Structure 1
Amino acid sequence: MLNTYRFDFLILCIGRYGVPKLPTFPHGRGPDAFRGRVLHSMEYSSMAHEDAAELVRGKRVAVVGAGMSAMDNRRSVRRGQRRYPCTMVYRSGHWMVDPKVAWRVNFFTFTSTRWTELMVDKPGEGFVLSLLATMLSPLRWVTSKVTEAYYKRSIPMREHGMVPDCGFGQASLGWRLGIGFYDRVDEGSIELRRCGSVSFCTDGLVLDAGGEGEDERVVGADVVILCAGFDIDRPLRDVFASPWFSEIVASGDDGGSAVLPLYRHCVHPRIPQMTVVGYAESGSSIYPYEMMAKWMAHLLDGAVRLPRVRDMERGVAEWARWGRWARRSSGRFFLKSCVASVTTWYHAGIQ
């Protein structure tokens, strides 16, 4: 039975990390070929502490991935069992910042200020700021290369094969490295396995190095945790019963769009009675989310008025053009609706 509720305004706070993304595997070499337990990081993280500890106790555990969820689950696995090392299987490293290393030099001044954002293109910035960003682009390149060299020298990522495929300046986001991560690798409680692709066999995982003439390697495991990310558009698409609403709000799920078509990353120009809070990504997402919530509260209070539909669509188009530029600059390392490189600019526009 369907229930009908009438309201004047709708606020969607459904996030982007609610639907797990599962990788595809060759026929006959998927999880069905494995005699152990396979689960997504979301399922493992939602377990009670006692159940999670019981699942991994005395078992060989492999974590597939090297992002933030992989790091978090690796720590949880080590707390649950210490008989076997935790194996991390990954295709490429990520820029993980060690807080002890980062605070030796105040890189915040070079990476997260209004001065820094003068060196990058921004949506709707105008001719003067665009020209200034172009003129300062060599300085941006030098800053990113110096930062990258400093981290490579201070963090033993090269020795352990964890150097990312992308440069520091290409990365949309960086994460915090777990305390003592490489110490755990050196002592043998964490084993790192880099590969081109992964599949399953009866006793664990089959790692393909990705090069011609390279032999496949087998990593024995009893439990495999897939940290393969999330289908970030799915929650927003599926919340609507109307295909039209789903299409215009969550368009671009095929990879053709770099940002959602939302004014201020909150309001669709054709649906002014609805806001989306908590979808855009940033280095520290709590700050833009707070700004969105405050802006929405002022909108409901009447202190802020929406522009005309035409003006809102013009603003959406400016962000779309910027998103295409950011995607070209970062390649496959760009995260959809990520405003990390222009967070201060976004905050200034939404105030």
Structure 2
Amino acid sequence: MTKRKTVAVIGGGVSGLAAAKAFDERGHRVLGFERSHDFGGVWELSRSYPDVQTQSPKDLYRFTDLPMPDDYPEWPKGPQVHAYVHAYAKKHNLARLFRLNTTVLSMDRRSDGQPGWTLTLETADKAWTQDFDFVAVCTGQFSDKNIISHPGQDAFVQTGGQVMHSSDYTDSSLATGKNVVVLGGSKSATDIAVNAVKNGAKSVTLVYREPVWRVPYFIGGINFKRLLYMRAQELQFNGWSPSITGKILSTLFKPLIWANFRGLEMMLKTQLKLKKWDMVPDVPIEKDASCSLPIVTPGLFEGFEAGTIKPVRGTIDHYENGHAVLTTGDRVPCDVSVLAVGWKLGVPYLAKEYRGKLIEPDGQYRVYRLSVNPDLPDMGFVGFNSSFCTILSAEMIANWLVRFADGQLANQPTDQEMRQNIDMMLDWRRKERPAAQVYGGLCSAPFHFRHFDELLADMGATKTKRSNPMAEQFSYPNADAYGGYLASTPQYVAG
């Protein structure tokens, strides 16, 4: 019988909730820790900028056993996602497992010689240490802000200017009547630029380094989920360890694959008028597709056309009184500077000697199945497998991880197998698909189906595909179906 463990779950976002449910339903004693006052992670209302909404349609951004409400729009807004996350926590009574307003200060191997880790924890009124048999790190990739500064910033702020990280832009009135400069090319950057215009900004300048491929919600009038999120489309990208048959088919169909992607690029260039705005990327879309591929914010290109948003290719060089001076030499009026420059990857509370085993010198992560490292026993990550269907990815890896921790995988990997696979994946990312190095290599997109196939095979699922072969090849991942696949895996409860 599987031994019951005391398991720490760090983080109360969608990944933490998925992990807490997975370990709890297998009979383990789960103690979750969330540093903020509420569940939700990036969707927690005090961390969300106005008008934030999902990049993925609602039937892709959901748990297997809880559809988003019918009255939600196709791309739900932040408060709706936050309410949905709470509904999931309530359905599975997960609040009983968590301590909110609790920060993990450090994480080190237990000193008593037993397997597991010791966490140093802190609340407003006390700090303490606690031992755990297993730790699920679920803080994802959007936990700690990437804070940057530019010359002249202190003087700029002292004279009334404002500089903030995009996650701190939580009040639309900040833009009213102000000259707003948004630094960055991500969806958060374009969301904020559009929001600033809507809320009466005097001027809005979007400053970005390089053009990237952007995907509108509808391409030629067709919902992009029906064009891009397909197993058949996924097979056209250069995946890892192709079979001999796969190599032959790739060679035979190479001209058609090339034509397919050139056609997609042409549609995007035409629909978005990318050439007009000097926003045609230098990299072919099939080589660039990854988790960093942003969705077009509705109103962005309309703002370009209307002159309410000015796109400038460059970055901020320094601040002067009431202005941001760009590397292009432009001196842009600026009262509010919003830095949409992302988040820091890492596990800062993990002891330094173990971080060195986890992260390569070039920033790539050494993780098997985007979840575990053989040099870091008794722990794993949920939410490191970033994708276009993040919630489903978190639920899948959480179910895989509890079985890995319990030695209950049908294909339980050996130490050597994990190391060989990690090295193979690192080599593939570095030499064959550089785009896969985004976020430290912690991204399963655009290979959602293959990633899920591997997890289900490891778990011993007896059902892994839809009965309709056309739907399986030419439709997006179906959360209800994956719920059935998980149910087909061997079930057990620790005791």
Q: Structure 2-normalised TM-score? A: 0.59
CA distance in 2: counterparts of 1:119 and 1:327, whole angstroms: 13
CA distance in 2: counterparts of 1:179 and 1:294, whole angstroms: 36
> Does the CA-based 8 Å contact 2:152-2:319 persist in structure 1?
yes
Q: Supply the AA of the counterpart residue of 1:146.
A: G
CA distance in 1: counterparts of 2:382 and 2:309, whole angstroms: 38
Q: Residue by residue, what CA displacement relative to the aligned partner does 1:128-173 show, whole Å, maximum 9, x if unpaired?
A: 4345445544433322211101110122222223323433222233
Q: In the alignment, what sits opposite 1:155?
A: 272
Q: Does the alignment pair 1:95 with 2:202?
A: no
Q: Does the alignment pair 1:58 with 2:58?
A: no
Q: Residue by residue, what CA displacement relative to the aligned partner does 1:73-113 show, whole Å, maximum 9, x if unpaired?
A: 2233234x31513221222232222223354387845x433
> Does the CA-based 8 Å contact 1:121-1:322 persist in structure 2?
no
Q: In the alignment, what sits opposite 2:193?
A: 74
> Does the CA-based 8 Å contact 1:64-1:224 persist in structure 2?
yes
Instruction: Name which of 245, 249, 264 aligns with 2:354.
Output: 245
CA distance in 2: counterparts of 1:332 and 1:64, whole angstroms: 23
CA distance in 1: counterparts of 2:442 and 2:337, whole angstroms: 30
Deviation at 1:39, TM superposition (A): 0.9
Note the 1:84-163 alignment, pairs <5 A: 84-104=202-222, 108-109=226-227, 111-163=228-280
> Percentage identity across aligned positions?
24
Name stretches of at least 5 consecutive residues in structure 1 with no aligned partner: 210-215
Which segment drifts farther, 304-313 or 160-169?
A: 160-169
Q: Does the alignment pair 1:4 with 2:129?
A: yes
Deviation at 1:300, TM superposition (A): 5.0
CA distance in 2: counterparts of 1:17 and 1:152, whole angstroms: 30
Q: Does the alignment pair 1:310 with 2:429?
A: no
Q: Supply the AA of the counterpart residue of 2:443.
A: C
CA distance in 1: counterparts of 2:416 and 2:278, whole angstroms: 50
Q: In the alignment, what sits opposite 1:18?
A: 143
Q: 1:4 to 1:196 in 2, by over 3 A?
A: closer
Deviation at 1:4, TM superposition (A): 2.4
CA distance in 2: counterparts of 1:293 and 1:179, whole angstroms: 33
Q: Residue by residue, what CA displacement relative to the aligned partner does 1:165-216 show, whole Å, maximum 9, x if unpaired?
A: 433222233222122322222223222222365332222111222xxxxxx2
Deviation at 1:271, TM superposition (A): 2.8
2:452 alignment partner, SS class: helix
Q: 1:83 to 1:342 in 2, by over 3 A?
A: closer
Deviation at 1:32, TM superposition (A): 2.3
Q: Structure 1-normalised TM-score? A: 0.82
Quick one: higher RCO (CA 8 Å, sep 6+), 1 or 2? 1
Q: Supply the AA of the counterpart residue of 1:183.
A: E
Q: In the alignment, what sits opposite 2:313?
A: 194
Q: 1:256 to 1:349 in 2, by over 3 A?
A: same
> Does the CA-based 8 Å contact 1:92-1:163 persist in structure 2?
no
CA distance in 2: counterparts of 1:108 and 1:159, whole angstroms: 28
Q: Does the alignment pair 1:229 with 2:342?
A: yes
> Does the CA-based 8 Å contact 1:37-1:224 persist in structure 2?
yes
Q: Does the alignment pair 1:338 with 2:338?
A: no
Deviation at 1:227, TM superposition (A): 0.9
Q: In the alignment, what sits opposite 1:169?
A: 286
> Does the CA-based 8 Å contact 1:65-1:89 persist in structure 2?
yes
What count of residue pairs does the alignment treat as equivalent? Answer: 325
Note the 1:293-308 alignment, pairs <5 A: 293-299=398-404, 303-304=408-409, 306-308=412-414
CA distance in 1: counterparts of 2:173 and 2:237, whole angstroms: 49
Q: In the alignment, what sits opposite 1:212?
A: none
1:289 alignment partner, SS class: helix
CA distance in 1: counterparts of 2:404 and 2:327, whole angstroms: 53
> Does the CA-based 8 Å contact 1:166-1:333 persist in structure 2?
no
Instruction: Name which of 23, 31, 49 aligns with 2:153.
Output: 31
